[in-house]
Amino acid sequence: MTLATPAPVPAATGAPAPVLSVRDLRISFPSEAGPVEAVRGVGFDLLPGRTLCIVGESGSGKSATATGIMGLLPPSADVGGQVLLEGRNLIGLDDRELSRVRGRSIGMVFQDPLSALTPIFSVGRQLSDALRVHQDLTRRAAWEQAVELLDLVGIPDPRGRAAAFPHEFSGGMRQRVVIALAIANRPSVLVADEPTTALDVTVQAQILDVLRRAQRETGAGLVLITHDLGVVAGHADDVAVMYAGRFVEHAGVEELFRRPTMPYTARLLAAVPTVDGGERRPLVPIGGEPPSLVGLPAGCPFASRCAVALDACRADEPGLREVGGHGRVACLRAGEIADGTLDPAGGAAPADDRVPAARAAAGEVVLRVEDLVKTFPVTKGAVLKRRIGTLHAVNGVGFELRAGETLGLVGESGSGKTTTLMEILRMRRPEGGRIEIAGTDVATLAPGARARALRQDVQIVMQDPLGALDPRMPVSQLLAEPLRAAGRDRASIRARVRELLALVGLDDTAGARFPAALSGGQRQRVGIARALATEPRLLALDEPLSALDVSVQAGVINLLARLKSELGLAYLVVAHDLAVIRYVCDRIAVMYLGHIVETGETEAIFADPRHPYTRALLSAVPVPDPARERARERIVLEGEQPGAARLPDGCVFADRCPLYRRADDTVRQRCRTRRPEPALVPGRPGHQYACHAV
Amino acid sequence: MVRSVLRKAAGWVLMIVVATNATFFLASWFLDPRSNFRELRPVRSEAQIDQALAPYGLDPRVPVVHRWWDWLTSVVLHFDWGKSPTGVPVNGEVGYRALVSAELVLVATILSVVVGVALGVYTAARQYGFADRISQAVSIAVLNVPTSVAALAVVFVAIWLNQHAGLRFLYVAGENSPDVTGTLPVIGDRLLHLILPTLTLTLMGYVGYHLTQRSLLLDTLDADFVRTARATGLTCGQAIRRHALRAALIPTAASVAFGIPAIFTGAVITETVFGWNGMGRYFIQTIAKNDVHGAVATAAFAAALTAIGAILADIATVFLDPRVRVS
């Protein structure tokens, strides 16, 4: 086979040759508006055993790059450039030739483990199939190897579990199986596309460890695609930052985090909320939105959002250039920024949406929850459903929320956070306990005018604004709907809609547009405005930021803070992202299996977590700083949160508790037999935790 | 597996019993065997007619519950499903016609499923390609042609072929030729007669499988697990056949199993055009001739086929989706 351009000459003898070289990769997809140029000239070398992280926001082309390398793009995609795997160009090979490379020389780990495995085959069968595609093995030998692979990725009882089907595994366990599939034939290159995005943070830490072990075991080069800068800091050797289909900065991980040189990288790092470090610093959002990749205008695609853009930036798109002692950066002013003579943020942070320094004094109690209980029946049988158990989703949860205050419910999925929220929003007599909204016990509430008034006092902001807003209504209609339901007249509705748009920082023209025509951040602002329409006193926010990109997140965080202090709102926030929680909440309650295990002031808990679960949860969050991320000691919890169908008599966390393992017999006895009562931390009012062993 | 099939089968037997008895009462109320005799010349009195019907258990003067009890005991004790108003035994009719229908239906069903599913897989893998568009257009056109028109078209084409080829191997009417003797020639002769009706039934039947299988497969083609399978080193075609198709076949298997009773008794038009005496025509005839026992036997036959189809569907699902075996 002859190549159009010569393969890269291996560097001086002694240095290992790259296992994967990508040269000027270009990918475009046809669309009704014209070709979408998803990847516009990406190139890198990957050495064996090294990890290249590609970071970027959604739509920056990182997933297209990964699938392009694997040759798994849809046939309609137009691909150019070279992907050299061990010197052989993969671009232009047909499906049959590529299939001999895929799985053998290059393996891939996908984002969503729930759908990545064929539901109708056992995991052992899928693994041994993957082995037998490339190796001449008997059925039995392949099965034995599959069991070994499952053991390698940390599946307990691999021999027994090999015959189980994917639906019998949890998300984290399935992702381990996907990793086992990827490394089955010891490929020289691994591509992992957002491998932990769909997982809980404690499981994320486990999976990243497995990935690292798999890489060490096979000596493969790893291309790790992620949007999480903390993951990058912990795992990358080299980092490539992607924006609008190109690498805009490509450097070693130390250099990149020490002095991010492309203004986009610098601003991205400034916009990321973090969990560690002393006082929280204000977030500086990047204004604007990532550009559309259809008919991109000339010039640097970041220029319109850049604080230090020159006229020349808008004329010509800068290529990647070597910056001494740093790496390669696609910016005309990279030299000045690398010297430290230019601040990439342009000096001043934007004046609007600033976090108010002083916290408003807490007002009257808006929400009081006492001993809330919610169970679901577990049933069996298709026609005659028999109750075979009870799922204790929420078990004795209680808290208080005052006007002007934000309470965050934190925990892994399945810990009962959302159920708690929904029970409050239901405004009916709870199964057990009491819910009091603005001084009214909801159990005593008869349907009628009083119930409707109270309903207006409590509003919700949903996780996915695209799903929560009716796509067939323009924004002004969406905002008017709750007001019409409240019986307002036409003129006051029109005035209020304009007011709401201004309140959330949207201009009047947005009122005439449909949700599909708005960006993610704008949509979430509409979602917030809609919730605010009836002037509620309590706003329930269910994962309000998890559908948003980092650069947009910061703006919404700041907006929420401003609204709270201006309107004296109380927020009840449910989120799994602890860094976001830290920036939004005054107090947090950590939940595990339907119980609150620790509660207190946000900064107090982040500075001095007491409950072992809180500690593990906080330590599982990766920190976007390579030096600290690699040096710090992490508590990696073993196993996963069990189901809430059969709760133990004692502490619900005992099975995974690191303290329990080290405790002596008398403490263990107590952990096993008695639910721990909340205990106050001396000298810190409001900081409580429930543990026998601390 | 065996236990659950047996349990399902018991449920279906109960269902058949209830359906058949309900049909008996409905048929007894709505079908009036006396009207068959009123047209006869010389005109007979009502009493004479009733007298004539009495030996067959159809005498309207006997309360319907009595007639039902007589019919039920003879079915249960002797498996005798009664006689038509003219005294023809139902057992013989149904037995003969079920065989005739089976000949027609079996080959046609297998052909429609094979052709339909194969076409569905082929075109789904080439969505919006040339082959997909052409076959889709043909299938939609065929879907809109009534069976009678299609059957007549097949007859015309066959006659034209016969004339131009100078042969007589495509028979357009009847189940067999009366003058053929000997085992092998008879079988060969019947097979030759089978060609055209089978062709018609296949043409009418494959369309549904093609269109549904194509859309079912398209739903699973973009599934993440197909991409995972390709990432482990399967070609696109292998990934579709081994991973996507198996999941997408489950609904098709169920619809095939449930489709069998429908074509057994529903191939009326094809049977009529080609002069075959199958179950479809029999069903229409029994109702037209006020044959209570014949209509009930046909209903029981269809109910039994539905039960068999449902159990086959369950077995096929278990075969295709091993997850069912676990629970």
Please give the DSSP secondary-structure letter assigned to residue A102. B
Q: What is the pLDDT of residues B190-222, one digit of tens each?
A: 888 888 889 999 998 899 999 999 999 998 888
- Mapping DSSP onto H, E and C, the string for A322-363 reads EECCCEEECCCCHHHHHHCCCCCCCCCCCCCCCCCCCCCCCC
Chain B CB contacts of A184 below 8 Å: 232
Q: Tokens 């929904």 identify what position? A: A422
Chain A's closest residue to B128, CA to CA, is: A76
Find the CB nearest A72 among B225, B231, B326.
B231
Report whether A487 contacts A504 (CB < 8 A): no
Fold of A365-689: Rossmann fold (3.40.50)
Distance from the B233 Cα atom to the nearest Cα atom in chain A, whole angstroms: 5
CA atoms within 13 A on the CB side of A536: 29
Residue B327 reports pLDDT greater than 60: no
Contact status of B238 with chain A (Cβ, < 8 Å): yes
Find the CB nearest A103 among B227, B233, B326.
B233
Contact status of B178 with chain A (Cβ, < 8 Å): no
What is the C-alpha R_g of chain B?
24
Report whether A39 contacts A26 (CB < 8 A): yes
Distance from the A126 Cα atom to the nearest Cα atom in chain B, whole angstroms: 9
Residue A495, classed as helix, strand or coil, is helix
Distance from the A269 Cα atom to the nearest Cα atom in chain B, whole angstroms: 32
Chain A CB contacts of B232 below 8 Å: 102-103, 107, 129-130, 133, 181, 184
Mutation target among B4, B221, B228 for the A interface, most CBs of A within 10 A: B228
Contact status of B4 with chain A (Cβ, < 8 Å): no
Distance from the A416 Cα atom to the nearest Cα atom in chain B, whole angstroms: 28
Q: Do B231 and A103 touch (CB under 8 A)?
A: yes
CA distances from A567 to A137, A405, A532, B18 (A): 69, 11, 10, 69
Q: What is the pLDDT of residue A12?
A: 45
Q: Do A129 and B247 touch (CB under 8 A)?
A: no
Find the CB nearest A99 among B234, B243, B322.
B234
Q: Find the farthest-apart pair of alpha carbons in chain B and give their distance in angstroms, rounded.
A: 84
Contact status of B127 with chain A (Cβ, < 8 Å): no
Chain B CB contacts of A133 below 8 Å: 232-234
Find the CB nearest A115 among B223, B242, B322.
B223
Chain A's closest residue to B232, CA to CA, is: A103
Instruction: Name B27's bridge partners.
Output: none
How many CB atoms lie under 10 A from the CB of residue A653? 26
Say which residues have a Cβ less than 8 Å from residue B278's Cβ, sequence separation at least 6. Answer: B97, B100, B101, B104, B267, B271
Mutation target among A105, A118, A194 for the B interface, most CBs of B within 10 A: A118
Residue A503, classed as helix, strand or coil, is helix
Q: Residues of A near B (CB-CB distance < 8 A)?
A: 70, 72, 95-96, 99-104, 107-108, 110, 112, 115-122, 129-130, 133-134, 165, 167-168, 178, 181-182, 184-185
d(CA A370, CA A401): 12
Q: What is the pLDDT of residue A15?
A: 67
Say which residues have a Cβ less than 8 Å from residue B182's Cβ, sequence separation at least 6. Answer: none
Distance from the A655 Cα atom to the nearest Cα atom in chain B, whole angstroms: 28
d(CA A231, CA A621): 9
Q: Residue type at B101?
A: S
E strand or H helix at A376: strand A365-380
Q: Where are the domains of chain A?
A: 20-115+186-254, 260-339, 365-689
CATH of A20-115+186-254, one of 3.40.50.300, 2.60.260.20, 3.30.70.100, 3.40.20.10: 3.40.50.300
Report whether A263 contacts A331 (CB < 8 A): yes
pTM reported for the whole predicted model: 0.81
Report whether B276 contacts B104 (CB < 8 A): yes
Q: Do A102 and B230 touch (CB under 8 A)?
A: yes
Contact status of B231 with chain A (Cβ, < 8 Å): yes
Q: Do A165 and B320 touch (CB under 8 A)?
A: no
Query: What φ, ψ does residue A302 adopt, rounded to 5°?
Result: -90, -10
d(CA A110, CA B223): 12
d(CA A572, CA A549): 22
Q: Do B236 and A95 touch (CB under 8 A)?
A: yes
Distance from the A105 Cα atom to the nearest Cα atom in chain B, whole angstroms: 10
The two beta strands, A458-461 and A538-542, are: parallel
Q: Residue type at A209?
A: D
- Mapping DSSP onto H, E and C, the string for chain B reads CHHHHHHHHHHHHHHHHHHHHHHHHHHHHHCCCCHHHHCCCCCCCHHHHHHHHHHHCCCCCCCHHHHHHHHHHHHHHHCCCCECCCCCEHHHHHHHHHHHHHHHHHHHHHHHHHHHHHHHHHHHCCCCCHHHHHHHHHHHHHHCCCHHHHHHHHHHHHHHHHHHHCCCCCCCCCCCCCCCCCHHHHHHHHHHHHHHHHHHHHHHHHHHHHHHHHHHHHHHHCCHHHHHHHHCCCCHHHHHHHHHHHHHHHHHHHHHHHHHHHHHHHCHHHHHHHCCCCHHHHHHHHHHCCCHHHHHHHHHHHHHHHHHHHHHHHHHHHHHCCHHHHC
Q: Residue type at B200?
A: T
Residue A26, classed as helix, strand or coil, is strand
Q: What is the pLDDT of residues B258-316, one digit of tens each?
A: 887 777 777 888 888 888 888 988 988 898 888 999 999 999 999 998 898 888 888 88
Chain A CB contacts of B325 below 8 Å: none
ipTM above 0.90, yes or no: no
Regions in chain A scoring below 50 on pLDDT: 1-12, 350-358, 360
Chain A's closest residue to B247, CA to CA, is: A120
Mutation target among A108, A111, A112, A120 for the B interface, most CBs of B within 10 A: A120
The two beta strands, A679-680 and A688-689, are: antiparallel
The two beta strands, A327-329 and A246-252, are: antiparallel
Average pLDDT of chain A, as a whole number: 86
Q: Is A590 exposed, middle or buried (0-12, 13-18, 19+ CB in 10 A)?
A: buried
Architecture of domain B95-326: Orthogonal Bundle (1.10)
Find the CB nearest B247 among A103, A119, A185.
A119
Q: Where are the domains of chain B?
A: 2-78, 95-326
Distance from the A659 Cα atom to the nearest Cα atom in chain B, whole angstroms: 38
